[in-house]
Amino acid sequence: MNKIKTALLSYGMSGKVFHAPFIELHSGFELIGAWERSKKLIQNDYPNVKSYTTLEELLTDDIDLVIVNTPVDTHFQYAKQALNAGKHIIVEKAFTTTAKEAEILKKLANEKGLKLAVYQNRRWDSDFKTVKSVLDENVLGEIVEAEIRFDRYNPQLSAKKWKEAKNDGAGILKDLGPHIIDQALCLFGYPNAVFADIRTLRENSINDDNIDILLYYPDKTVRLHAGFFNKEQLPGFTLQGRHGSFFKSRADIQEDVLKTGKKPNLEDWGKEPVKEEGILNITLNGEDIRKNVPTIPGNYYDFFEGVYQSIINNTIEPVTADDGLKVMQIIEAALESSNQKKVIDL
């Protein structure tokens, strides 16, 4: 099996938790190292890899795939440099800071015949996989409205200063927003119009930290919400169809388990507690049915398997540059809508 030589552009939380463990698990990848600007940490966990001092040093090494997992406002610059160096890339969310930047990277990757995947890992969460399965089974009938939420209770500012600084990549719209927007597009396709209310609610915050977005479709409305004042959380997913309803908590365990240092596997990974099962309540053929729906396990490994297949066998990326571009278009429309207090046609 050909191994894809892979390097990270940082080894903070995302590198340590979301990327390196799955690169190590997948036999088709080889972790070569990470660019570490100050703290040199990767060799504590992976003694045989390299710690690069500069991006140029990393890009001139024998690397096939570069994971751009740095702050959002650096994505465009670093992704462009990696593509120009002939490397396939994975770019964290938010893909870029503007739709224009997304278009440029998409075009550059195509011109150079390189693979560009956007790391929208929440497609491989257990909760989302279960919601998608219920939709695919069509037990709800035609969907008339839906709500997707990514709620937290965290009223204090982050200790990570770059998250709270004023820059084009900061704020909840480009942090949690890409997850729920991407999930909505996966489930329902591209909307006709967008309306949004984007606010700053935390004390001393200078960035947006509460978002409500309405996506308009010819036959349904989809509501998206993310915020930091949700001590008692509502369902992460609410689907209302002509046959009834489905509610599912946002309860994927992968991130929390990975943060403890536990390594992923392919046997019993990503299983939610039974108490988090979704609730289906429908009327079918005159019969009322209310039951729990078992949760499908999640596994971010499947994203990396998709990247592997795209590079080795030239299949489509698991999340394409075009997927990332569409998310950025929704984000820009949401910003325009909130600023002008009107619906924005797409």
- Token readout for 259 is 């943060």
- What beta strand segments (E) does the chain contain? 4-8, 29-35, 50-52, 65-68, 88-92, 116-119, 143-151, 193-199, 210-216, 221-227, 237-241, 244-248, 278-284, 287-293, 344-345
What parts of the chain have a pLDDT lower than 70? Answer: 1
| Whole-number Å distance between alpha carbons of 72 and 167 | 9
- Looking at residue 107, its pLDDT comes to 98
- Looking at residue 111, its pLDDT comes to 98
C-alpha 277, offset from chain centre: 22
Q: Is residue 281 classed as helix, strand or coil in its secondary structure?
A: strand
pLDDT digits (tens, 9 = 90+) for 36-48: 998 999 999 999 9
- How far CA 176 is from CA of 6, 93, 94, in Å, comes to 26, 9, 9
Torsion of CA 309, 311, 316, 317, to 10 degrees: 90
Which residue spans of the chain are classified as CATH 3.40.50.720?
4-121+303-319
What architecture (CATH level 2) is domain 122-299+330-345? 2-Layer Sandwich (3.30)
Question: In 10 A of CB 264, how many CB atoms?
Answer: 17
- Looking at residue 159, its pLDDT comes to 83
- Looking at residue 58, its pLDDT comes to 98
3-state SS of the chain: helix, strand, coil percent to 5? 35, 25, 40
| Whole-number Å distance between alpha carbons of 246 and 102 | 34
| Whole-number Å distance between alpha carbons of 212 and 337 | 11
Q: Is residue 47 classed as helix, strand or coil in its secondary structure?
A: coil
- Looking at residue 1, its pLDDT comes to 56
Which residue spans of the chain are classified as CATH 3.30.360.10?
122-299+330-345
- Looking at residue 310, its pLDDT comes to 98
- Does the 4-121+303-319 domain belong in CATH 3.40.50.720? yes
